[in-house]
Every structure is written in structure tokens, then in C-alpha cells.
Structure 1
């Protein structure tokens, strides 16, 4: 087969290689758009849909399709070129494919044989595996059955052994009363052994019993371990009655031996019994036995009588009772507490401190002295509560680490003991007592001054009884016979509430005083009934209270909270600083009440200056030569207040501020009044001048009157006012006020002074 002849028109598949090569030489490979990447089609991870979707975002679909068609045509041309270049090999390809089916059959036969062998081997392996797994399962079941059987045999053996040991224990002779030689050893009596068999007979009987009981307890512990592992088996359920009987017998015998050892105070026997209790995990039994045998007798003897009635010789105060209990604990319980707390004794599981001692004390108090927990008598309640805290601290002294102290405080007995003290009701009673005292003082008809008979109680120097009561209430919150550390936050809040209540009382009174109506401001009646001078005393008290609260009072509170964290102390200090801060905002208003009252009184005297106009208008007096009498009385109300002994609490600073404020207000009123008088006089003169000129023009032959005669009135008034202003300035100087420093006085001087006379001249 030969290539296609050149006679026919050449097609793309039939172009000669030389012509195609020449065509490709002049073809511009970069004529395609930049966005069309031909190399992307050769990528192994090429995704047509993703490729088209990416291009369609910025290339129109028709353009993309045309470009793809052009690329397809180019690929076909390349394929035709490759076929024409290797045309002989392409034609001979089909002639080389001879007997392909036969070769496939020859290859298939050995493969089928190999598959059959592999399937047979797999079946054999599976069957062997199943047999092996079945054998392992039967072996595991047999092992489990054997373990269960061994467990049951061991359980039966231990039960029998326990019963045998208990029978041996019962066959031992009972202890009789034997004389024992005893000595004191760290608060607990210890048996002294000697070679005398008669004297040591009691100890020789107790110790073997205790050792045997310890052995039985260890076996019983092992028995309980076995029973826990096989408790659902019928065999265990069948022997459960024997186990329960043995357990009850052991518990009764162990309790009897332990109680006897406690009564005889045999150290060796007690240790064996405690180890036995620990082995069977029955710490509650040992604690209850110690409570009934040792703790209960002396606690009941102290708190209760033999018949169970409260001992009548003492009241409900617990201090003496706790002291007696402490003494007995030191003598009768110290040894056992030290043994249980020893680091290497293995007896740390026992908590005799809370479950024996504290529990018994609480039970006895609930039965014999229930009134001791009643907050209805706050003084006795507080004394008993503090005695109980001292008792708890005494018990905590037996703890050897912080963990032990934490465990003791987390115990049920400790929690129940603290629950008996209802501190919330106690605080409510104290709150009513303190708050009612302040409310009664603030409910008075007016702001009354202190009682002279109570001058010794008012060491702070407060002026009014309401302020004194507030200070007493603030101190009362933190006094030793009221304050409790556990509710310190409540007393802090009460202190801030007292300050707030006092501030509200002042604010309502000032509002009622300002409006002159107490109906819209309930509780402000006192301000309307109080004298203006009382408000400056209120200001004195407010400033003094704020100063003391921020200093000595805060230090007193922080001293009581010395055990609190630093951040708590910082917050307390900030709250006590912010609490009285609102009182300081009322200081200007308190001063303004007296300033306005004194100013009104002085201005009332000043109004007499209006008579100067009438005096010189109605009479033909000459120019004045001395000041008017009213001037000496203008500042008299202010001087009267300053010299009154009832207001001796007012400090010099407050005096100076008061004088300055009142003087400035009076001088301003004086300036306004003088200018009105001068202006009115000059207007009157101008009117008279017009009338006289009109009369001269209308009536001939009238007397010749010059225009200067009309000027006498304003000149005389200004001259009189000038003399008065000078005297007023001297009066201000007597009070310590430099008149020239007052802008209103300067304005007044310029209004009435003769022309050319300066204030400083």
C-alpha cells in the first residue's frame, strides 16, 4: 500500500511532509489568545468542566467554542501528519496481530489452575482458623470456669476459716476484773507489763484477743473481696447468711474488745483493734465505739445530768462548758488522736475529731442547751458563737497539715455544727437595732444640737444629735460585742447604708428647704423647722464625718479584716472612700442656707438707706458730714452669729468662708441699691429742671432761679452714700475683709465717690 498520489487535490491528510513543514515554519504559534493555554489539556488532573467554568467568567461562550474548534482542527492536522510520517508502520500494524486468541487461551489455562489451588488453600486455612478459634474459646471458657471454681473454693475456705477463728475467739476466756498498774503517758494511760503473771493477766488476755481479731478482720477483708467478685453466683448467695453472721459476730466482738481496751486504756490492744477496723473498712464503727465509750460520758456529765435533763446550775453560756470539754479531751482523747494522726500508723482513715468528739458535743448541746443557739438574745448568742469558734480552733490544733484541716472543715459534723448558728437572724436583729436608732434620731422635728450631758460620749466633736447618732451607729457595726468575722460583708454594707441614709436625709431636707414645701418631699419637715444657723453645724458635722470615715474609721475596719486577701481589703477601702463622698457634694448647699439667711437679715437693715432720698428731698439740709446710723447695723446679724457660743463648733476656715460669702452678697445688694437711688435722684432732678424752665418761660416776673439749685439733691445723696460706704468699708475691715478686694465694693465706690477720688487714696 502506497501513499496517496499527488494527482488528486491535496487534503490536509495528504499534504507532503515538506509542504507541511514549510507551512509550520510560517505559522505563528502565539496567534492564539493569551487566556487559551494548550498545555492545560495535557495535565493529568485536567477537569473539563472546571476549565470551561473558569474561562466563561471572562470569555464569552461563543469565543470559547470557536477557539476549542480551532484547537481541535489543529490536533487533527497533527494526527494526519504523524500518520503520513510513519505510514508504513501504520499499515503493517494489523498484519503483526496474528493468533491473538490462541495466545490468550494459552495464558488463561495456567491462571485458572492457579486460581483453583489458591481457593483450595484458602478454604483449608479458613477451616483450620475456625477450629483454632473454637479451641481457644473452649480453653478460655474452661479457664474462666476454673478461676470461678477456684474463687468459690477460696471463698468457701475463707468462710470456714473465719468461722473457725470466730469459734476460737469465742472459746477464749472472758476478761475479768484484774488489777492493772497504770501510768500517765501523753494524756493517755498505758499498761505496764511486768513479770507478775497475776497483775498482767488482764493484759495477757486482751492482747491475744485483739491480735486474733486483727487476723480475723484481715481474713474478712479477703472474704469481702472474693464476694464482691462473685456476688451474682448462686453459691455466694447460698452462703450469704453465713457471711453476714460472721460479719456481725466479728463486729460485735471487735466492738466489745475495743470498748474494753478504751475503758482499761490499753495501748497495744487499742492499736490492734484499730487495725482490725481499718482492715474491714469499718471506720464508722470504731468512731462510734470511741464516741460512746470515751467521749459521751464526760460530755454528758458536763452538759446533761444522768437523767438527761439539762444541768440547772449554769445558764446557756457555753464558755465554761467548752473549757471543761477541752480539759477532758487533753486527758482522755489525746493518745487516740495522736495514734490516728501518726504518719506511718496506717490509721489515717479514722476521723475521731469530727465523727466522735465534735458530733457528740453537737448532739449534747442540741439536747441539753438548745437555747444556746438562739439569736433572740444577741449578746449571749455572740458570746456562745465565739466560744464555739475557739473550740473549733482548739480541735483544728490536732490536725498536722493543711489537708487535714481542710478535711476537718469539710466534714458533716463540722458543717452541721456551724449550721446551728443562724448568723442571718443575728444580723437582722442587729440591723434593726442599729438602723432603728438612726431612724429615730433622724425622725426628729428639727436638727437639734447635742445633749450637754452626753459630752463625754461625743469625743469626736460633732454638733448635732443626728450626726452623733450616725457616728455611734457606724462604730456600733464594728464593736467587739456586735461584729462577727463570718458576716463582715453584711456589716460593711450596713455601714454604707447608714451613710447613705444620712445623706438621703440631708438631700430631702435641703430640697424641702429650697422649695419651702415639705409635702412634695416627705421627711424634709425638719429642714423647715430648723434654724438657718443649724445648717452650718450640719456642714461642720458632714465635713468631720467624712474626714474621720476616710481615715481612722477605715483603718479600724481594715484592722478587723487583716486576715482577708489584699484585693478584698483594697475594695473595702475604696467603698469606704466612695460611701461618704456624696455627703461632700451637699456642703455648698448647707452653707448657702445660712448665707442666704444672714444676707437677708443684713439686706433688711440695708433697705433703710432708701430713707436718705426722702430726707434730702423733703428738707433743705446741708451737705452731710457723718455716716448714717443704719450703716453700723448692716453687718450686725453676721457679727451676732459669729459671737454666739452655741456655734462654737464652726471652725475658723468656715467663719472666713461665711464672712466672705455674706459680705460679697451684701455688697452686691448695696451696689444695686445705691445705683438705683442715685439714678432715681438724678431723674427727679432732670424732671424738676424741665418743670422750672417751663415755668420761667410761661410766667414773667417770677423769681430768678438758677439751674444749679436743682443739683443739690443728687449731690447731697451721693455725699451721704459716700460717707456710708466708707463706714461700711471700715466695718468690713473689722471682720477681716479687705473692701477693695470686692468687685461689688469697687463698683459701689465708683458710683458714689466724688470725681477724682480713688478707692486706694
Structure 2
């Protein structure tokens, strides 16, 4: 303890030398030395290691001396250790040899078993393939025999007899019904044959009988086509049922659909659409209309095609894989229209095109009515024939023509400038034309529901175009652009434009919105309503611009009267006129232009709110300008008066005597007195028009100024 307190270290080893590191199970000598040599010389490391070795040896000796009895007894117990090891090793080696022998035997048996299993698997696969080939050969032979029997048409007492296969199922009827039954059986065997061939199609044996299979398949299809055509001509439901099942078995639905199209659909369609005649090409007009043609087609479908559709739609028939509506009827009608009436598909005549398109939609609706469920309707719409029929109508081209027709007529009206409109709620043709074009977008003779987004966009573009036309006109008027229509517009014209904008906004958010939403339907009502209301609000934002231009124009006309202010100064300059007692004509005429405008014939287009807004705005602008000009006038007079006063004082100092014109009241005071009377009159005129001058800040500023300039006189 004392050595620790006074610095005597009982373990003199340096801090970097860690004895515990040698006890680590993962101790690596080279790594340990490499880690120490970076900051400890090898000589110092060697010395420390030797000192530690000596310390360990001393410690070992101390331990032996301390436990000497145990050490000695340990040495006596280790006598003949090698002999004991040899005696133990011999039985272990014998056991190891036996285990190796057993393991080799097991490995050999396992290899033999695996080889046997592999041969067994190969034999089983070969047997399976052989059986499959035998079955394939047997089915091919069976089909060939059935086809031969079909060809020879051996029918005895209403029973079909098969050669080596024995007798077939007896039937009650003779003729086409047994034939169709046999075809259905052959088709089921052909289906089984295709299943077998698909599994072993790469084998040489299949290639040797491939020609027989192809001949059998071709013969089956030929006989099926003849049988189904006979059944269609006779409308034999039993024969058709078996033929359809046969077609379904060999996965050839297109064959049945084509046979139905050629046998049943094509004849009446060719009579309805006789082809391109010179009359159709030259006459056009009614010859290009499809409504009556579609009605005839619908009548034939109900009379000549429904029996086949009923067979396919019958419950548990398994014949729902056939699509006679799309791949037979629509396909034939489409081809007939393209060949017989191509003019009906031309969007160059928008009115006729739209009538034919709507007739086609009605026709499709009638065709879809033959579907038994909504799933069947969706399946019909997913068919390529349905999509091709719809693609006949080039709707983008139709919309482009309508867009040019509506937009160009509106732009033409705008380029004509401001033209008054008679017998309309609107004052100008441009506003009336805008509403007309907007309503035309949703007219039943123009609008197409599948293009609703485009027509909505067109209507919004028309509104935006009108708003930009107004804004650009007002901007060019402010910039004094003489080439603009707005430059020559009068105050009355601008007021009428404001009236039209407000009326348009009212109609857009009222009757027009209801009409458009009724045409668009509930699916897009929310988004469409927001779009139209936003466009209407953007149009209404032009009203403040029009109001500013209108009030600026009226204010400028009123302010022209202020040019006569200089006449007041001239009246009292170098004269001996007394103080004024009555207002001047400036105050009388200052608001005359505003009064005349408010009392004009266009009052019917001006609401009370509009009148009040215009009145207040013009009053503020005129009064503010009046105030500024009076201040400038009085300031100039005061400067002149000050110069004259200094001149008079200089003359008096030189002994020239008092000026003969010197008086108690100066000309400036007289002018200020006149201005005060005029401002009072201006206030009365404002009150007469309906503006409370006491609450008009601009007038209060003017009144305070002229009141301060007025001096009391005895």
C-alpha cells in the first residue's frame, strides 16, 4: 500500500506491454509484434519479453515448491503412458476399419438403387410415351374411320354403323341430325388428338403421321362447314347445336362465325347496302344517310339472326365462346358501309357525319341489347370487330372542323370591332356571338358525348378569347394605339361593354351552366362546373379594367374645363375689380360632361350600383385633379406676389413713394376668394349628382386648402 502511495510500482512492466494478451485464445504472435513495433523498438520489446519469461520461470518454480507433493505424485501416475496409449489405439483402429467397410457397402448399395430407380423412371417415361403414341395412332385411325363412315353415309334404320368400332349411339332422326352428331363426336376425338400431339409433337412418329392428321382436320372442317350451312339454311336448331359444339371442341369459333356471316348476314346486308352506285357518288345527301339502313338491319337481325343468338345464349349450352354479334353482324355491316357508303363516313359534311354517328350508336345499342348480361356486353365491346366498327367515325377530324367553324366565326366577329346588336339583350355583336358560339358547343346537332372534354375546352377557350380581346383593347386605348378598335370607342361604348360582360357572367353562371351540365351528365358535373365558374370569374375580372377606362375618359372630359382656371387669374390681374361674390363658369361646367353621361339614353344599361361606382370614381379623379391644379395656381400667384412686394419695398426705400396700385387686398387674395366660391359650388354640384362631398376625402383636402388661402376682409 505504501509503495502504491509513494510511487513504487509492484509491476515494473510498461503500459504498452499487456500480459493478458498472451492468454487470448486467438493470440497471434506476428500480429501482436506488428502492432507494437510501430511505436516500440524491437530491442525494447525483446528485453521486455525476456524479462517476462524469466518472471514466468520464477513463478513456475515457486508454484512447484509450494505444491511439491502434488507435483511428485503426478509424476508417479504418468508411468507407462505410451503403453496405455498403444493399448487404447488398437481397438479404435479396428473399429474404424469396420466402419469404413460398412460405409463402402452402403455407398455401393445406394448407387445400385439410384441406377435402378433411374432405369425404372426412364422405362416408365418410355412406356408412357409409347402408350401416348399408341393412343395417338389409335385416335387418328378412329377419326379416319369416322370420317370415312361420314363420307359413305351408312345409315341403317336410323342407326349409324361404325366399321370396327361397333355401333354408335342410336338416334331417332335420320339425315342431318345424325350427321351433325357424328361430326360432334369426330370433333371431340380431334380435340383429344391435338392434346396427344401437343405432348409428343417432336417425336419422329408424329412427323410420319402429320400428313394424316392434317388431312383429317381439313376434312372435318370441310364437313362441318357444309353441315352448319345446311343447318343455317333450314334453321335446324339440333343440327346447329351439334355443329357449334363441334366447332367449340376443335377451338375454331371463327369458322362458325364466318359461316354464319356468309350464309345469313351477308345476303340481307348486301341488299341493304347494294354498293357504290353512280347515284350515291353524285347525289350524296340522303344517299349517305344510314338511319334507315340501320333500321332494316335491325329488322333482319330480329327476324333472321335471333334464332342463332338464342342457341348460343341458351342455359348450360357451353357455347358462350361464340360472338356472332361482333364477328359476324358488326363485321359484315362495317364492310358494307365502307364499300357501299363511304360518303357517310366523311367528316367533311359535319351535320351528315354526326347524324350517321348517332345512328350508329343507336344501332350498337340495339345490338348490345341481344347480350344476356352486363358481362356479355363488356365482352362484346372488347372484341376487335366492335372497336373497328367504332373507328369508322373519325371524331378528331369532326371536332377539328367544328372547332374551325365555331372559333373562326367568333374571331371574325371580333375583328369587326364594336358593332351594335339589334333585338338582343346584348349591346354588341361580339358579346352576342360569344354566347351563340358557347351554346353551339352543346347543341345536339354539334355536340358528341365522347368529345365532351374537347367541347368543354373549346367553350373555355372562347370565354378566355373574349376576355383577352377586351383587356388588349383597353390596354391599347391607354397606350393611345390608333390601330386598335378600342381607341375610337366612346364612353357609352365602354359602358355597354361593361353591361355585356356582367350579363355574360350572369348567364354563364345561370342558365348556360345548367344547360351545359345537363348535356355533360353527372359523371363530370363537378369538374365541369368548377371550370365554367372559373372562366366566368376571369371574365368578370375585366369589369374593373373597363370601369377604370370609362371613368378615366369621363374624368378627362371634365378636367378639360380646368383649362379656364387661368382666365380667373387674368380677370384680376392689373385690374381694380372688387372681391368676387359669385362662382365662376369653371365650377358650373366642371361636372357637366359627367352629368350629361349619367342622363344619357344608355341609362337602361346602367344599374344603380354601376351608376354609383362610376359617379364616385369620376368625382374622386376630377376633384383630385382640381385640387392639384388649384394648388399649382395659388403657388404661382404667391410667388409672383412675393416678387412684386419686394419690388415695391425697394421703390419705397429709394423714395419713389407708395405705389398707386398698392391696396389692402391683393389680386392673389381676390383669386383665392374666387376659388373658394368655385369650390363651394363644386361641392354643391357633387351633392346634386348624389356624391356626399363631406365624405369625399379628395374634396375635403381641396376645401381645406382654399379655406386656408382665404383671408378675412373688413
TM normalised by structure 1 equals 0.80
Q: Is the 8 A contact 1:210 1:269 kept in 2?
A: yes
Distance 2:207 2:403 in 1: 64
1:704 Cα deviation after fit: 8.9
Matched, 1:150 2:131: yes
Partner of 1:185: none
The 8 Å contact of residues 413 and 433 in structure 2, kept in 1 or not, is answered as yes
Q: Deviations over 1:261-301 (max 9, x none)?
A: 12211222221111111111111111111111222222222
Counterpart position of 1:412: 384
Compute the displacement of 1:347 (Å).
Answer: 1.0
2:508 paired residue among 529, 549, 555: 549
- Select between 410-419 and 332-341 the one with higher mean Cα deviation: 332-341
Match of 2:203 in 1: 233
Residues 43 and 578 of structure 1: CA distance in aligned 2, closer, same or farther (over 3 Å): farther
Task: Report what 1:494 is aligned to.
Answer: 458
User: Counterpart in 2 of 1:525?
Assistant: 484
> Which digits, 9 at most, give the CA deviation of each residue in 1:374-420, with x for residues without a partner?
11111111111122122222222333444333322221111111222
Question: Does residue 702 of structure 2 align to residue 738 of structure 1?
Answer: no
CA contact (8 A) 2:280 2:287 kept: no
Query: Distance in 2 between the 1:41 and 1:573 partners?
Result: 87
Residues 303 and 310 in structure 1, CA contact (< 8 A), matched pair in contact too: no
1:480 to 421, 429, 444: 444
Report deviation, 1:346. 0.9
Confirm or deny: 8 A CA contact 1:261 1:270 kept in the other structure. yes
The residue aligned with 2:400 is: 428
Match of 2:585 in 1: 629
- Which of 218, 222, 232 pairs up with 1:248? 218
Alignment deviations for residues 135-173 of structure 1 (CA, whole Å, 9 cap, x no partner): 333333332332222222222222222122222222338
1:291 matched to which residue of 2? 261
Which of 717, 722, 731 aligns to 2:676? It is 722
- Write the distance in 2 (CA, Å) between the matches of 1:699 and 1:610: 35
* Number of equivalent positions: 685
Distance 1:124 1:724, change over 3 A: closer
Shift of residue 429 of structure 1? 1.1
Q: Residues 215 and 308 of structure 1: is their aligned pair in 2 closer, same or farther, counting only changes over 3 Å? A: farther
Q: 1:590 offset after TM fit, Å?
A: 2.2
Secondary structure at 2:625 match in 1: helix
Match of 2:621 in 1: 665
Which of 489, 494, 501 is 1:535 aligned to?
494
Question: What CA deviation, in whole Å up to 9, does each residue of 1:590-633 have, x standing for no partner?
Answer: 22222222112111123223212222335433443333234332
The alpha-carbon deviation at position 662 of structure 1 amounts to: 1.0
Gaps of 5+ in 1: 1-26, 175-200, 519-523
Name 2:596's counterpart in structure 1: 640
TM-score w.r.t. structure 2 length?
0.85
Query: Which residue in 2 is equivalent to 1:171?
Result: 152
Alignment of 1:64-213 (within 5 A): 78-91=59-72, 93-94=74-75, 96-172=77-153, 204-213=174-183
Match of 1:392 in 2: 364
Q: How much does 1:41 deviate?
A: 7.1
**1:369 equivalenced with 2:341 (yes/no):** yes
Instruction: Provide the C-alpha distance between the structure 1 equivalents of 2:393 and 2:10, rounded to a whole number of angstroms.
Output: 101
After superposition, the C-alpha distances for 1:163-212 in whole angstroms (9 at most, x for unaligned) are 222222223389xxxxxxxxxxxxxxxxxxxxxxxxxx996422212212
* Contact preservation (8 Å) 2:568, 2:671: yes
Question: How far off its partner does 1:28 sit?
Answer: 10
Other-structure match for 2:165: none
Larger mean CA deviation between 369-378 and 716-725 belongs to: 716-725
**1:474-509 CA distance string (max 9 Å, x none):** 222222222222222222222232233233323333
Instruction: Give the counterpart of 2:428 among 442, 464, 472.
Output: 464
Aligned twin of 1:214: 184
Q: Which of 342, 350, 353 in structure 1 is aligned with 2:325?
A: 353
Distance in 2 (alpha carbons) for counterparts of 1:381 and 1:477:
16
Contact map agreement 1:441 1:466 (CA 8 A) in 2: yes
Deviation at 1:350, TM superposition (A): 1.1
Counterpart CA distance in 1 for 2:506 and 2:386 is: 43
Q: 1:421 is paired with a residue of what secondary structure? A: coil
Contact 1:470 1:498 in 2 (8 A): yes
Structure-1 residue corresponding to 2:520: 561
2: distance between equivalents of 1:253 and 1:467? 73
Give the distance between the partners of 1:551 and 1:605, measured in 2 at CA.
Answer: 45
Change (3 A) 1:80 1:438: farther
Q: CA deviation at 1:321?
A: 1.5
SS in 2 for 1:528: coil
**Which position in structure 2 is the counterpart of 1:18?**
none
Distance 1:594 1:603 in 2: 14
SS across alignment from 1:320: helix
- 2:163 maps to what in 1? none
Partners of 2:152 and 2:280 lie apart in 1 by: 44
Post-superposition Cα deviations, 1:221-272, rounded to whole Å, max 9, x if no partner, equal 1122122222222222222222222212211212222121122112222211
2:168 paired residue number = none
Which runs of 5 or more structure 2 residues have no equivalent in the other structure?
1-7, 156-170
Maintained 8 Å contact 1:722/1:752: yes
Mapped to 2, the partners of 1:673 and 1:160 lie a distance apart of 120
Q: Which is worse superposed, 423-432 or 162-171? A: 162-171
Among 411, 415, 418, the alignment partner of 1:443 is: 415
Q: How does 1:303-342 map to 2 (within 5 A)?
A: 303-304=273-274, 314-342=286-314
In the alignment, is the contact (CA less than 8 A) between 2:180 and 2:239 conserved in 1? yes
CA contact (8 A) 1:688 1:710 kept: no
Alpha-carbon shift at residue 711 of structure 1 (Å):
0.6
Output the CA distance in 2 between the equivalents of 1:308 and 1:231. Answer: 56
CA contact (8 A) 2:676 2:710 kept: no
In the alignment, which residue of structure 2 is the partner of 1:603? 559
Q: In the TM superposition, what is the alpha-carbon distance from 1:582 to its structure 2 partner?
A: 4.1
| Partner Cα distance (1:308, 1:215) in 2 | 52
* 1:380 aligned partner: 352
Moved more, 162-171 or 138-147: 138-147
Q: 2:224 aligned with 1:265, yes or no?
A: no
Q: 1:125 to 1:716 in 2, by over 3 A?
A: closer
**Cα RMSD (Å):** 3.9
Segment drifting more, 530-539 vs 406-415 = 530-539
- 1:337-360: CA deviations, max 9, x gaps? 233234522111111121111111
Deviates more, 1:723-732 or 1:96-105: 96-105
